Amino acid sequence: PVLMIYGFGATRRTFSILEKRLYNDGFTVFSINLGGIFGTFNTHKIEDLGAFIDQKIEHLYKKYDIRGKLSILAHSKGGLIGRYYVKRLGGDKRVRCLITLGTPHNGNPWALLAMFTPVPFLLKSIQQMTPMSGFIKRLKSGPFPKRVKFFSIYSKDDFVCPFPSSVLEEAPNVKNIELEGVTHSEFLIKKSLYNVI
C-alpha cells in the first residue's frame, strides 16, 4: 500500500494524476483528509496531523488485516507530517519507505515572510515551517530510523520550497535526489518524476 500525504493549502485531489499512475501500475493507493480551514486544506499543526495519521493507519491495519509495510509518498508539508510520524510516533514499524517531494525539511524561508502577517496566529503550521523553528530543530535532531528508506526529491527550479530547504543530511538509508526543471506543483504531475518515484 501507498499512503499519499498532501501539502499545506492543498486537498487530496492534488494527487489525482500520481494516484492514477500508481493504481495503473498495480499499487494500492490511499490518502486521508487532513482537515484544516474549510475542513480540508491541511493547516493544522504537524504533530497533530502526525498523530491523526498514526491513528488512521492503525485503524486500517486492524480493519483490513494488512500484513505488509506501507510506503508514504508526500508533497511539501505532507513530507514533514510523514517524517514526524515515522521518526517520532513509531511509524517505522509500519513504513518501509518515505518519499518526499519538494518538502521543506530545513524549513521554508517563505514562512518567515508570513510571520509578519496575522496568518501564523490562525495557522500554527506556518510557524512550524520557519527555518529556525523549534519544530524543525526537534525533527532534525537524532538519526532517522535505519529500517526505513527515506528519499527527498527536490529541484532547484522549485521556488515555493527553494533549494536547499529540501536537502537532507544523507545516511545509508537517507538520500537526496535532484531533478532539473521541476516546479513545486509539477512534482504532482510530471511523468519524468513519476519514473523516479
- Burial of 17: CB neighbours in 10 Å, binned 0-12, 13-18, 19+: middle
pLDDT, mean over the chain: 93
Rounded distance, CA 54 to CA 96, Å? Answer: 15
- pLDDT tens sequence across 149-175: 999 999 999 999 999 999 999 999 999
Over pLDDT 90: what percentage of the chain? 79
pLDDT digits (tens, 9 = 90+) for 80-135: 999 999 999 999 999 999 999 999 999 999 888 777 777 666 677 888 999 999 99
CB 82 within 8 A of CB 100: yes
pLDDT greater than 90 at residue 186 = yes
Are 175 and 151 a contacting pair, CB within 8 Å? Answer: yes
Residue 104 DSSP code: -
pTM: 0.94
